[in-house]
Structures are given as C-alpha cells and as structure tokens.
Amino acid sequence: MASAAVSSRSVPYWPKDIPEQLGLKHVTTPTWTQTSPAAEIAFHPDRALYEARRERRLREGGLQHTVPDGWPQKFEGPIAWTGKDLVDEAQYVYQLSAADKLEIKRALAGVQGKSYDEITSATFELPLLGPQLRKIQKQVYHGIGFAVVRGLNVDELSPDECQRIFLGCSSYLAAQRGPQNQDGDQLLHLTDYGRVDSDVDLPIHTDITCDIVATLTIKCSTYGGEAALASTWTIYNELAATRPDLIHVLARPDWPFDTYGRDPAYYNRAILFHHEGKAFMNFSRRVLTGHPISGRTLRIPSLTEAQAEALDAVHFTAQKHKLNFATEKGEMRFINNFALLHGREAYSDKENFEASRLSCEDEMARRSQRHLLRMWLHDEQMVWKLPPALKLVWARAFHDPNRSRRWRSPILPLEVGPKPGPPPPPKPNPQPIPAPCD
C-alpha cells in the first residue's frame, strides 16, 4: 500500500522516562534502511493476494517446522473457543430484568450532579445487579472473554443519562478509563461519517491500549453491522499445527507500529506474545498497513513478505473460527482485548444493502444511523500480567499523569458528515485525515 504523508506534531508518543523505568531499551526508533521492496498489502485483506503469497513462500521453503522454544503446541481453556461452541446466546448474553432496570434508574439519580470521573462502582450503587456485573467481569477476564448486557432502553434516556449509566455499569468490570486519541477523549462516538468504509467488513483486530473494549449501542443500522469475535488462542492453535513458521514471524519484535506524526515516528514490537502461560495478541491493522483515510506515515518501514502473510493468515484463520452475533439497541458489550480479536460486518441503511456493498460510490448514500459509545477500560487487580513491551503501551494510557484526558459534551451526533447534496470536487493531492484513535 502506498504511504501517505502525515504532518509531524513533535508530540512524544510516550513519556520519555517510562521506557527506562520499565527497563525497555528496544523501543526507540532504530536506524533503518529499506533493503527489500515493500510487501503489497492493504487495510482490507485480499484473499487472492494472500493465497498467492502463501503458495510462493511455501515453494521457496526454509520455513520453521516447530513453534518457538518454550511455546506450547496448544493453548487450552475457556477462551480457546470457536463460533460453533457458542451457538446459545445465553452463554454470553445477560438480559436486564425489570428489577435491574429499576436499580439502574436509582443509581442514575444518585450520580446526577457528579462529574463523569466521579462515577465509580462506589458511587453508582447497584446492590443486586452489581454482583452480577462482577460475575461478568470474571467471565470477560478469565472465562470465554466477552459478555453482552442487553435491555437498556436508550430511547427513554438523554445523551447524558446514557453516558452516566454506561460509566456506572462498566465501572464494575474495570475501574480505569483510558484516553483513546491524541486529544485525550475517554469516550468516543462511533458513527458512520460517510467515509469509513461502512459498506465493507471491518477487518479482525484488537484495539491497542486496554484490557476491555466496552461499547454501548445507541442506534443500529438497518441492515448488517453484526459483531465478529475470534479467539487468539484458537488462531494460535491452528497456526501452530499448520504453519508454525508464522508463529515465529508474529512473535518477533520487529513489527513497525506507526505513531502517526509523533515522536518516535514508529516503534518496533511483536504482535503475538507468550507470557505467564497465556497467549496475547495485540495489533491494529491500521497502524501496520495504513488505512484508506489515514494513510501511512512516509519514510517508516513497510511490512516484509513474511509479515504480510502472517497478518493475513491471522485474519483468514479468524474468519474460519469467528462468532457473529447481532447488535441490538441498548446493549453494552465487553470484550477481552488480550485474547479476543473483534471486527464487524458491513452495514447500511440502504434497502438494497447487498448491492450497495459493491456499487455504492456516493458517500451520502452509504451513511448510516449506526451509533455506538466506546470506552477503553483497565483494572489493576484483574489485568493479565503484561509482557514488557505491552507494559509500555498500557503505561501511556493508564500511568502517565501528564496525558491529557477529557470528556466531550454528551450530544448525540444525529447528523454526521456534510449536508445532503452533490459531493465537492476533490482537492489536488489531498492530505489524509489524521488517525482518530491512539
């Protein structure tokens, strides 16, 4: 994929003293020279390109036939599931009862007038629902890795009330909320701004910095938009059995993570880790390949052929074992960001949805009402023991007292993008929009 210029802001990507405090000397930008052609790979995976690259690398040979020393051949546990194991929604959905909703209403009244930072499990009192949310916390951290809480009637709530309830309930799963972008926003509105490829699937990935990815659905699209989840442990097990050489590639600390204009311009680390008996996978495809909107920073390393194959192998292996489930208005979703990959199916409000996925060229035509709130959560007591490279990533979000943090006004973005009308003519050599998330 062609690189795109990103304006330099000379903003440190992490506090200068944190790498030293953590004993991490490998995180500074190394001296680098491009010695081989950049691998052809894009944000949206191309199966034909992936299969051709796989066949070529297999023909060339010289690949490892065992997993790295000290790594298991197979991970076992409740998180090592496939979609076929979770056919009953009762395994992961908790439906709010009338008593639960009444308790939430009382808790909401108790935090009116408090700042968002003051909304915690101690101030948002849920005597009966609280213990159930603690059970869900254990399921997310140490069980199947995710849970869905359904039944909140968001149509009866103001934007501020939605956010307060989301903050209060999620505080029973994890105590800290982390900034999600350079502006320090601790809660983001995920909507279709008419330019985010809603008419194609969002590739499987993790978010970069959190224990739990938490969302509250305010509005659903008319068609599509199903959630997609896949187990890192299941992906590992298949690759270890069929392509152990790719485990080596994924585990090498030489993947170039784009910081989008900050200092350093990129840093290297692995995307797959084996630590304290657990497998971790942590990557955003966008920072490795670039994105049609945000591009990729010029003059930083591109992926190698081996890395391009490994990244696509993760995606297509996840597709084999993923769980898809519908998104419902008013549901809160909590996903273990260490052991599960997530994505979503294409979505639209167009009646002829399948045709729009292939032929829609008008940004206005593919805009959707879909709207989610998202937070990145962390809990010091429940967090998995992190490998050193991820300790640095978590420290940026949760242990940097100088990092900016803010809460935007809770206004629902009912209108997004430009007003209806013909799109303006393209500007010559347009600059990409900076990456919205950290």
pLDDT in tens, 198-214: 556 678 999 989 999 99
pLDDT at site 329: 93
What integer is the mean pLDDT of 116-140? 98
Contacts of residue 375, defined as CB under 8 A and 6 or more positions apart, other chains included, come to: 166, 167, 170, 177, 178, 180, 186, 187, 188, 214, 215
Residue 431 has pLDDT above 50, yes or no: no
pLDDT at site 409: 75
| H/E run at residue 124 | none
pLDDT at site 192: 63
- Categorise residue 212: left if φ over 0, alpha if ψ from -120 to 50, beta otherwise: beta
Contacts of residue 281, defined as CB under 8 A and 6 or more positions apart, other chains included, come to: 206, 232, 235, 236, 250, 271, 272, 273, 314, 338, 339, 341
Q: What is the pLDDT of residues 353-366, one digit of tens each?
A: 455 444 444 444 44
pLDDT band per the 50, 70, 90 thresholds, residue 370? confident
Query: Which of 62-66, 144-148, 199-203, 372-376 comes out lowest in average pLDDT?
Result: 199-203
Structure tokens at 55: 């066949």
pLDDT at site 364: 42
Query: Which of 34-43, 174-183, 398-407, 416-425 comes out lowest in average pLDDT?
Result: 416-425
Structure tokens at 200: 């194609």
pLDDT band per the 50, 70, 90 thresholds, residue 429? very low
User: Domains of the chain (ranges plus CATH)?
Assistant: 43-398 (3.60.130.10)
pLDDT at site 105: 98
Q: What is the pLDDT of residues 169-227, one digit of tens each?
A: 999 999 999 999 888 999 999 876 544 555 566 789 999 899 999 999 998 876 556 78
Q: Which residue has the higher pLDDT, 328 or 417?
A: 328
pLDDT at site 206: 95
Q: Which residue has the higher pLDDT, 359 or 343?
A: 343
Residue-averaged pLDDT of the chain? 84
pLDDT at site 18: 72
What percent of the chain is predicted at pLDDT more than 90?
62
